[in-house]
Chain A
């Protein structure tokens, strides 16, 4: 079991560029989420999915898109990167609504 795998681990983007952060889990979890963590703060929910084909917005969705075509994968797309999106991004998965989340190791993104 690899758990939750995020790629890349580090990325530098120029303002206006687009990119996709990858997230994959091999635990057959239905629930998947994306969070961002800014310095000195807790995590904030960007988007989440309760199963393949189902996604919804979290607390800070602007500037990000997601899709969930398979149970295993939940990519996060930055449409036009802005310096305000400099952050550490975490993907997480859970078996269901009454289970604890397993987090990936994070992607550190810098937008210049």
Chain B
């Protein structure tokens, strides 16, 4: 089956710093989504981004489908950005997501 690797596994940032999270996948995909799981366990959809670049406030994402990777950029990080960031992909066309193991981000004041 498809492999989804996220890096780094853990990241500690000072408030105000910028960061880049990476998601590599081993096969072509129809669909790629980024999620943030906050410390209380809630999963929030950040981006639906099978290709191209999107921006939402301090967050932006780029997917280069032909090279099988996606990047999530967080600028001017805040303590509320802490949590686990998941990349998830779908190969089936039925929006069946296969999740990576996540990047745990800790932002310290």
Where the two chains meet, the residues of A that have a C-beta atom closer than 8 Å to any C-beta of B are 31, 33, 35, 40-45, 48, 50, 56, 58-59, 88, 90, 92, 94, 96-103, 105-106
Shortest C-beta distance, A48 to chain B (Å), equals 6
Q: Indicate if the CB atoms of B43 and A90 lie closer than 8 Å.
A: yes
- Within the complex, which residue of B35, B48, B96, B102 is in contact with A45, where a contact is CB–CB below 8 Å? B96
Where the two chains meet, the residues of B that have a C-beta atom closer than 8 Å to any C-beta of A are 4, 30-31, 33, 35, 41-45, 47-48, 50, 86, 88, 90, 93-102
- Within the complex, which residue of B42, B93, B99 is in contact with A43, where a contact is CB–CB below 8 Å? B99
Residues of chain B lying within 8 A (CB to CB) of residue A97: 30-31, 90, 93-95
| Distance of A99 Cα from B41 Cα, bound (Å) | 22
Shortest C-beta distance, B101 to chain A (Å), equals 5
In order of increasing CB-CB distance, the 9 nearest A-B pairs are A42-B99, A100-B48, A103-B43, A100-B45, A43-B99, A97-B95, A42-B101, A31-B95, A100-B33
Shortest C-beta distance, A39 to chain B (Å), equals 12
- Within the complex, which residue of B4, B48, B94 is in contact with A48, where a contact is CB–CB below 8 Å? B94
Q: Can you list 25 pairs linking A and B with CB atoms under 8 Å apart? A: A31-B95, A41-B101, A42-B4, A42-B101, A43-B86, A44-B99, A48-B95, A48-B96, A50-B94, A90-B43, A92-B43, A94-B95, A97-B30, A97-B90, A97-B93, A98-B31, A98-B48, A99-B48, A99-B95, A101-B45, A101-B95, A103-B43, A103-B44, A106-B41, A106-B42
| Distance of A8 Cα from B33 Cα, bound (Å) | 27
Beyond A48-B94, A98-B50, A103-B44, 12 additional contacts (C-beta under 8 Å) are A35-B99, A42-B86, A42-B100, A43-B97, A43-B99, A48-B95, A92-B43, A96-B95, A99-B48, A100-B33, A103-B42, A106-B42
